[in-house]
Chain A
């Protein structure tokens, strides 16, 4: 069946389509049109008639080569739509970039045009045809800069996505399928649900000749073009340090099968008040390590970063975070936040950097069933090497969600103060990733050496506090001079 869709190149309304006017070969063809007799090609008259009739009947006439992208979608009206979408997504973006997505059948049409021109005018390659995306940008970018009052920057954190869909795309890709499996109808059946990727389409098009096009390609004349505009700004990052004064609060929300098991969490107590300031679709809470539910975090606190995704506002004054920090600290006595500030994405990576090397300081309240005095305590602790290297098999209490392995960790400071003959406070500084509870009681001897071995008696842990997380991030804010005093008070009285 002869299609001669190329008729559509000639009979379209958009004689002024840049794809034609910017293409030297096509211009030459248009000039020669009068002289070349198209009737000399083996065309069936009635077929031409049918195509022509369909062209007239079709209500939504579109440019065959650019499906209106360079016409309707370069209008002032469309520009206003882009402006609207952009400003609704993020009100204060500082620059923008545009990403265009086109339907795959345009590849077919362009390949067809190159084959046609090669056949009737002269050698025509892909690079002889103007590129739709470039043409669109030429027509639109400067005007967009004016309308949005912001510069176009290719690496802008604010991306406007414009996706063009064509209702006849699938139908035209079917032509390719028919060509591909022409000799192999069985294979066609087994690959019935095959989806076409850009790569796949390009590969198949390389093998088609003009005659193949004529035989197999049937353009979707009545196809309609639609467009979806969306805009997305890079995330806003907010960092700080938190203290945890409760022994019944988990860091992340505790939800099982959709049912909430605990009232709230450290993450929510911190992120929810901030999310009233930073309006965004959702957030991700990251911290430099984590403590158990029954462990307090004292001292300067643990660094955290919250990534707010799809923010509707990206510029903030430092004072706004001071207020948010104050809100968090007055709303709850279980958590305290300091040094709350906006940071860049690069800066936020510091929170996970050097995870293995960082150290933490702990204080553990321990008891024993065999009396011990300060002298013996000092003696025994002094007898171990400094640093002491321990080997910990994955603790049984986390074994259900951690890999089975043995971890080597070092403890650089170890000292203790007796409270009474059966209780003492242990102070220790450990490498990140050390399970302190297991170091004290030994976890059935699976952590070695452990405190029961060092003190040569049964020891167990009653309470654990994190005194310091030794990371220099985020930077301390200047107005925190009276924070140190507050620290000591809070640590002692549990806020």
Chain B
């Protein structure tokens, strides 16, 4: 079987996830987050590609962690994990020139993971924004999994809204 040379294959994100966006998180202008929704309803939170930290390559001084996963979480149904609201504070990104961004959950769901790697290596946010630089992982209930989508923007709508701004 011979394979063509440089085919554009769908990436891991394209295979399993749908992109949704949350604008102006914590009422901070341009503080947009990206929510990757897996076909199994799990949500991975990341910075939007259009976030100033990425688009303007701002120098990050440090990232402060404002939340952690409940250590009593156990079992397949993740009993004990905190079920958070969209305004749950997760991180504070401190950049040069006193520019700070507060990252919130952006969706409802069980907080099952926060990414400690970005605290150690803040540059991951810029270099691997849609990979190792992820922010957190949530598991919403079946109902919330659907409802969350109503308060988020689809990729298309988001891109349109960013063009006009």
Contacts and interface: CB of A to CB of B under 8 A. Distances in A.
A binds B: yes
Interface of A: 367, 369, 393, 396-404, 419-423, 441-445, 460, 462
Nearest to B12: A441
A387 to B, nearest CB: 24
Contact of B5 (A396, A402, A421): A421
Given A367-B9, A396-B137, A444-B134, A404 B38 contact: no
A403 B3 contact: no
Nearest to A438: B12
Contacts, number: 56
B12 A404 contact: no
Interface residues of B, number: 28
A402 B40 CA distance: 12
17 contacts: A396-B42, A397-B16, A399-B42, A399-B112, A399-B139, A400-B139, A403-B74, A403-B76, A404-B112, A404-B113, A419-B3, A422-B5, A444-B132, A445-B117, A445-B128, A445-B131, A462-B9
B40 A400 contact: yes
Which secondary structure characterizes the binding site on chain B?
loop
Interface in B54-99: 73-76, 78, 81
A33 B16 CA distance: 89
B67 to A, nearest CB: 16
Nearest to B46: A444
A184 to B, nearest CB: 40
Nearest to A461: B12
Contacts of A445: 117, 128, 131-132
Contacts of B132: 442, 444-445
Contacts of A393: 113
B6 interface: yes
Residue among A369, A399, A443, A460 with the most chain B CB within 10 A? A399
Contacts of A423: 3
Contacts of B112: 399, 404
A403 B77 CA distance: 7
Contact of A444 (B5, B9, B78, B131): B131
Which secondary structure characterizes the binding site on chain A?
loop
Interface in B101-121: 112-113, 117
A420 B2 CA distance: 9
Given A401-B76, A404-B78, A460-B12, 12 more contacts: A367-B7, A396-B16, A400-B40, A400-B42, A403-B74, A403-B75, A404-B73, A404-B113, A420-B5, A441-B12, A442-B131, A445-B117
A294 B43 CA distance: 23
Residue among A397, A444, A445, A460 with the most chain B CB within 10 A? A444
Interface string B1-28: 0010111010110001000000000000
Which 10 interchain pairs have the tightest Cβ spacing? A445-B132, A400-B40, A444-B134, A423-B3, A441-B12, A404-B112, A399-B42, A444-B131, A396-B42, A403-B76
A292 B41 CA distance: 19
B34 interface: no
A402 B74 CA distance: 10
B125 interface: no
A145 B38 CA distance: 63
B53 interface: no
A369 B10 CA distance: 12
B156 to A, nearest CB: 24
